[in-house]
Structure 1
């Protein structure tokens, strides 16, 4: 029989609409403005004591708050009734807790627990709608240059020793990045210069004999070499930051270079801003060094403390200045647990060069101890009050170098081994993330940091919603006026389409931006195109004298190919826009693509289901279309 759906199709449509309604529901619950409190290190526990210090400071400042939570296993959360209270509270709590804690603006979800249990959550909003975090970071390129020179110096000294070239005293590096070595005669200097010429032809060389009777060789870098090192450091740090942001799960972030040595990071719609600040604002690296023997001079060894409190009792340890390998040779780092002690550890996998270095160093030093030095660069915010009573922020960098492992070499190591001595599983997870995302070629520090509150996006959201409502309302009126009863069916299908768009974006975690709202407005107009084609086809069939039921059937069947072709070509364009576009263009492409897919379902299946319910299996003399 024409224009009758089997029962399973109606049930399928109802099932899809029910799922869509459930997963779109969290968007009805507006989140509360809140602040999150975490430690600079994942090993720091945020318990009730820390929360009490924060709440006492808020009460002294007469800031109303509610919903205070501190589980000890994650960040503490304090909710507020307004954005103004949230902004004031951040400054008050940060002063009360000090720089060892990160206080960040956030939004506390009000989604019911039963919805969260099934994985339902609201749509993520972009930086232009919900606010987010903006960082301007500067790469310490002089540090990268100094690090490269230290590596060159170590290699040259090793090569000179192998070739039995005698040099006097130490090979020094000046503040102006000039490497200087002195030799007893011109012959030794000439041999050393030949080694430099072959190994590092890019270095500029100057030879001279001084009044003390020694021959001096000075090496420095050309401007082109310095620029190359700086470009590499910024590019490497840029790639590493992108990897870290990806690990954080931030949707549509912006990480791009600005100027010669600066990087802009924008994290839109993040909930756990404190975690983002800690991971991005921190530089962690590893150095593997052998323990210095008792005969080593002060210039050949360095003294370091242990990181673990349990090992502090043993006192400091001395490690050789020479670095066997750094964290840039790490290709993978995963968290595990020692099967014997049950303590957390990080399982390390090295690249070919790193595996060769560690194997060569350990093969000839079995029985000696090797230390793993953890180097952490943290940005410290300094707050001062100027003469006008306005708080001014400045940033400085704090460097911590501590031993996290000092173990005896039992056998030659290969590309895979483990690091122990970590304080907690959270710290092991953070270390693995930082190593896995890539080593930074040079330290970074904050030049500017700003948290963009959702109040900046309130007007955008309001105007965007007005545009959607206005567009939707005009389309509904036109369809109802022009197509009568069939227009009513199309309007119901259009409402279903909007519900499906919101549900799918919530399920897949797509980010809604202001261009994305424009895509939804466009989708509202495009969604009825299919219905217009179908209804126009039905009118043509009726004019040609076809029976009512046959006209309805032919209208849906014969318009399907045209609808499919038109939507498919638009979908291809949306995919291309997403593939090659930047953030705003991607936001537009996402909503456009989702809207095309949902409109195909709603305009064809849902509309036909409604029409079938109204006219299917009935004797109809005239259609109001």
Structure 2
């Protein structure tokens, strides 16, 4: 009656032992660390390791160790003061253009635990410290880019229909086409309306010549802006992940803002460099008919633009962009089989492949360029006021003659190093921002404040835990001690699950754990009170134990299921900190059901299961 089969006892023990192993990494803490990552044209190698070690030794700054992993260097320190001093020294010796030097926290997990895949849980910004940015997407730029894309498509449509137009302009959210004849204008309205039902076309009565004004309808505007926002969120998340910043939070706030949190990073300037610098590619045909020297002297043809190769040579490129990086679905660094030089293998989506195939088919024998465009947002002081200025730094990385029709897969060559090829592939995989973003708010949470939050959160859990332990032992004696054992196992299971899932623990998450500590005892209270009632009715101790667990189960299940539903709703509709609370509450409910019902029953069975007439200490 009160015995588990051997397999069930072994299963419970295996679950608890596994939980202890995967919860252990959280006991070892973190070391203050300086992280050195390579810039676009450099790499982190053993030579750099030796240089940094020599620099630190000369400055007599003690450090615990230097680890080189995945093209980044991690220098560990015992104290935060040593970390800050070393960061300043390393920054002085390394070019900010070539390397990114940032503060971080490195886990102290032993190697044998890491070999089992055991890692500490992630700590949120409020616990670990770090940087917080509120970024605003330039929705006007989104609409302008969309209209410019339509302008290019409509030009092709009008040419195909032999409709003559004189000028095209995108200004103040309106796409305008001018015509010489009214007949051309009227024909254009018919063709555009037939081809693009998402556009609103009206006659511009104020224009001197026949003209039309084209706008996006409201539904298309909303859809375009939402897609741009979601693409920016995805791009930022991918870029931060690929550049090695741990446990980032990137989420939407309102209709046009994005919240970015980087726990463990204390250097706001370097974090802004990661977020504010974006890059993409453009493929353009070279204008080989015009004189490049005339363009250098200031006489640039109307349909061309002057660009410079990274080696300094000027080129005239067609204004019309053949293809942009937004159509890239995969990119990987490789080696060109013919020349042995670094290259990037690019895979396009279906639409990009069709566009690229058609254009290259029609331009076999003509030169094509690959333009790398890096965008940076800088804050400048103009007339005593800080103004955000966005700069684009385009450079041609490759010019090659189109020898054959290109399709879905092709290679980009002309790169200086394997590091540059790898970084270019990284930026292409991460994607281009659909619209410019501006940082409207930034905050830095210091590690000392984060540690204070950790200490307070830990103290709240321990105080709540201790009070429950005392109450249970006084009120239920040996059964209370068993419930306390289950409560301790419950906490270990929650921590282990958070670590295995690599979930992020925040202060609201700690609140969820504290609530779980109280709720976890409820099930045992119901069971123990039921056992007492059965004993008062004159049932035997063994029958009372069996009846107590059996009859209390439905009540326990109902109470926990309703709370679980509420937690799932909180997770589904909540954001940020609310989700953190919901996660720990959900995990706590599941683990408390296991420990309070299965775990305590196993221990009670081992204590009283073999006795014929046991005297219960309850």
Q: Above 0.5 in TM-score?
A: yes
- Check if 1:74 corresponds to 2:66: no
Q: 1:606 to 1:271 in 2, by over 3 A?
A: farther
Paired position in structure 2 for 1:213: none
Whether contact under 8 Å (2:136, 2:438) holds in the other structure is: yes
Q: 1:507 to 1:273 in 2, by over 3 A?
A: farther
Deviation at 1:605, TM superposition (A): 2.2
Q: 5 Å matches for 1:17-416?
A: 17-41=16-40, 43-47=41-45, 64-67=61-64, 69=66, 71=68, 73-87=70-84, 90=87, 93-94=90-91, 96-100=93-97, 101-140=99-138, 143-144=141-142, 147-148=145-146, 150-151=148-149, 154-155=152-153, 158=156, 161-162=159-160, 171=167, 187=181, 191-192=184-185, 195=188, 199=192, 201-202=200-201, 205=204, 232=224, 236-245=228-237, 248=240, 253-257=249-253, 263-268=258-263, 280-295=275-290, 298-306=301-309, 312=311, 315-330=313-328, 332-335=329-332, 337=334, 340=337, 343-352=342-351, 354-379=352-377, 396-416=389-409
Alignment partner for residue 615 of structure 1, among 588, 608, 618? 608
1:512-562 per-residue CA deviation (whole Å, 9 max, x = no partner) reads 111111111111111112211221222122222222222222222333333
Deviation at 1:327, TM superposition (A): 2.8
Say how many residue pairs are matched: 596
Q: 1:270 to 1:360 in 2, by over 3 A?
A: same
Secondary structure of 1:66 counterpart:
coil
Whether contact under 8 Å (1:377, 1:399) holds in the other structure is: yes
Alignment partner for residue 453 of structure 2, among 460, 484, 492? 460
Paired position in structure 2 for 1:389: none
Alignment partner for residue 546 of structure 1, among 536, 539, 542? 539
Please give the alpha-carbon distance, in whole angstroms, between the structure 1 residues aligned to 2:110 and 2:464: 32
Secondary structure of 1:566 counterpart:
helix
Please give the alpha-carbon distance, in whole angstroms, between the structure 1 residues aligned to 2:55 and 2:333: 40
Paired position in structure 2 for 1:577: 570
Whether contact under 8 Å (2:510, 2:581) holds in the other structure is: yes
- Check if 1:588 corresponds to 2:581: yes
Q: 5 Å matches for 1:437-456?
A: 437-456=430-449
Q: 1:608 to 1:361 in 2, by over 3 A?
A: same
Q: 5 Å matches for 1:522-537?
A: 522-537=515-530
1:35-62 per-residue CA deviation (whole Å, 9 max, x = no partner) reads 2222342x421346656776788789x7
Q: 1:538 to 1:234 in 2, by over 3 A?
A: closer
Whether contact under 8 Å (1:516, 1:588) holds in the other structure is: yes
Larger deviation: 397-406 or 576-585? 397-406
Secondary structure of 2:251 counterpart:
strand
Alignment partner for residue 479 of structure 1, among 468, 472, 492? 472
Please give the alpha-carbon distance, in whole angstroms, between the structure 1 residues aligned to 2:270 and 2:4: 52
1:13-34 per-residue CA deviation (whole Å, 9 max, x = no partner) reads 2222222111111111121222
1:131-170 per-residue CA deviation (whole Å, 9 max, x = no partner) reads 22212434455655654565455456555655656677xx
Deviation at 1:569, TM superposition (A): 2.6
Whether contact under 8 Å (1:83, 1:455) holds in the other structure is: no
Query: Where does structure 2 lack aligned partners over 5 or more consecutive residues?
Result: 193-198, 292-299
Deviation at 1:577, TM superposition (A): 1.5
Whether contact under 8 Å (1:237, 1:440) holds in the other structure is: no
Q: 1:178 to 1:615 in 2, by over 3 A?
A: closer
Secondary structure of 1:71 counterpart:
strand
Larger deviation: 546-555 or 372-381? 372-381
Secondary structure of 2:103 counterpart:
strand
Deviation at 1:441, TM superposition (A): 2.8
Deviation at 1:424, TM superposition (A): 5.7
Q: CA RMSD in A?
A: 4.1
Whether contact under 8 Å (1:282, 1:376) holds in the other structure is: yes
Secondary structure of 1:579 counterpart:
helix
Whether contact under 8 Å (1:141, 1:230) holds in the other structure is: no
Please give the alpha-carbon distance, in whole angstroms, between the structure 2 residues aligned to 1:109 and 1:615: 44
Please give the alpha-carbon distance, in whole angstroms, between the structure 1 residues aligned to 2:254 and 2:532: 59
Whether contact under 8 Å (2:240, 2:248) holds in the other structure is: no
Please give the alpha-carbon distance, in whole angstroms, between the structure 2 residues aligned to 1:230 and 1:80: 50
1:390-445 per-residue CA deviation (whole Å, 9 max, x = no partner) reads xx998654422233444443444445545445556665555455444543233335
TM-score by length of 2: 0.82
TM-score by length of 1: 0.81
Whether contact under 8 Å (1:244, 1:433) holds in the other structure is: no
Q: 1:487 to 1:178 in 2, by over 3 A?
A: closer
Secondary structure of 2:68 counterpart:
coil
Q: 1:455 to 1:336 in 2, by over 3 A?
A: same
Please give the alpha-carbon distance, in whole angstroms, between the structure 2 residues aligned to 1:515 and 1:432: 38
Secondary structure of 2:590 counterpart:
helix
Query: Where does structure 1 lack aligned partners over 5 or more consecutive residues?
Result: 210-215, 387-391
Paired position in structure 2 for 1:212: none
Whether contact under 8 Å (1:371, 1:406) holds in the other structure is: yes
Q: 1:32 to 1:355 in 2, by over 3 A?
A: same
1:107-132 per-residue CA deviation (whole Å, 9 max, x = no partner) reads 02211112112111111111111122
